[in-house]
Structure formats: C-alpha cells, structure tokens
Amino acid sequence: MLSQKEKSLFSLMLSDSALPIGGFAFSNGLESLARMGFLSSYQDFHEYTETFITQITDFDIPYMNSCYQMDSDAQLDEISVRYHAMIPLPETRRSSLVQGANFLRMLKTLHPPLHESPKINWYMTHLPLAHFCLIFSVCLEQLNFTLPEITQLYIFKALRDQINAAVRLALLSPTDAMLLQATMINTCLQRLEAAQEKTYLQARKTAVLMDIAQGYHKNLYVKLFQS
C-alpha cells in the first residue's frame, strides 16, 4: 500500500513515456491509417483521437472496472478469458500481453509487497491472459489507487502514446501534439465519467476500422524505430 504522497510520485513515474514496458513502439494502427490516407490533416487526427478515446472507454475501461472490483480466481478467469477472446488480431493481442507481462514484472520489482497479493499471483500463473489494461487495474488497486485515479492515468498514457507516435511519424508537430492533448482532456474526463459504472459485460468494440488498420500494420515498413 502506498501513502497519498507516494502515490503522487508513483503516478508521475508510471506516466513517463520512458516506462520500459513496450508501449513506446506500438501505434495501435496509427501508422497504417496514415499510410492509407485517413490522417492527412490536424482535423483528421483530432477526429481519430476522439474515436480512439471512445474505443478505450467503451472497451478497456469496463474491463478495468470489473477487475478492480472482483477478487475470486473464478471471476478473474471469466473476465480475462472474455477480454482475450475479444482481441482477435494476433498483433494487438501480442502487444497487449507483452506490455502486461512487462508491467507486472516491473511493478513487482519496484514494490516487492505485491508478491503477497493473490490477484497478482493469479496473473503471474496465467500470463497468457495477463493483458495490459487488466494488469494495470489490478496492480494499481493493490497499491491503494482509487478506480478513477487508475482509469485517468490509463487513458492519459494511451493518449500520450498515440500523440508521441504521431510526432515520431511526422504526422503532427510537437506544438500541435501538445495542443491536441490539451484539447482532449475534457473529452477524456467526460467519456470516463460515462463509463465509470460499466462492467465487462457491457464492453464493446466501437472502432472497427482501427482494428483493421492494426491488422494491416505488419505489411508496412515501420518507421517508429527509425525516427
């Protein structure tokens, strides 16, 4: 358990783009959509970002809400298996699992008392189901973060990674990127508020084109490591 002051400093560390879990290199289909011609202006990217946020609050957040509130192994298994089944693309599934496993191991190193958590130990023995958003919710709940704190931090990290990827791909200037991130704050908070009571049984995918773009990504020359 962390104190309030420790939580504030821990949040800054977890929101750092240098966090070594692998999210830096995964663009969630952004590069594919740009190559297809869907993102050719600031307005295009603004609309894309709103869609991306909606996808998170309609799909990831309900699962995170449920993981936070449930304790039994059977409940965690039901939630995790269902989430896994809802991610059909191998690229997306692999990225989520890699980030989840890396985040889990990193936090257990940084905060050894997590070794005593039954929830954490369940995921350590079920790594093929340890998707990032589920692990993020469970780990921070064990560190005394509230659910609103967890979901706000998660959506900030997701949005930041998208905007950073856009800058590295030369789709946005650094100034435009910061402007976009600032204008999206209220949108994030409104969507999170609307999703705060949803459970995993109400989760749904709302951005099919983004999923298709992620599947196409493997056919592209990837620029993220080149810039």
19/25 Cα distance (integer angstroms): 12
Distance CA(116)–CA(47), nearest Å, equals 44
In this prediction, residue 219 carries a pLDDT of 53
Q: What residues contact residue 125 under an 8 Å CB cut-off, 6+ apart?
A: none
**Which residues are within 8 A (CB) of 71 and not within 5 positions of it... i.e. 6 or more apart?**
118, 119
Which amino acid type is present at position 34? A
pLDDT in tens, the chain (227 residues): 777 778 888 888 887 777 767 654 566 778 778 887 888 888 988 998 999 999 999 999 999 999 999 888 999 999 999 999 998 888 788 888 988 998 888 888 888 888 888 999 999 999 999 999 999 999 999 998 999 999 999 999 999 888 888 888 888 899 999 999 999 999 999 999 999 999 999 999 888 777 777 766 655 444 444 44
Query: From CA 176, how far away is CA 144, in angstroms rounded?
Result: 35
Write down the pTM of the prediction. Answer: 0.89
Domains and CATH numbers, the chain: 49-219 (1.10.4190)
Contact in structure between 94 and 127 (CB atoms under 8 Å) = no
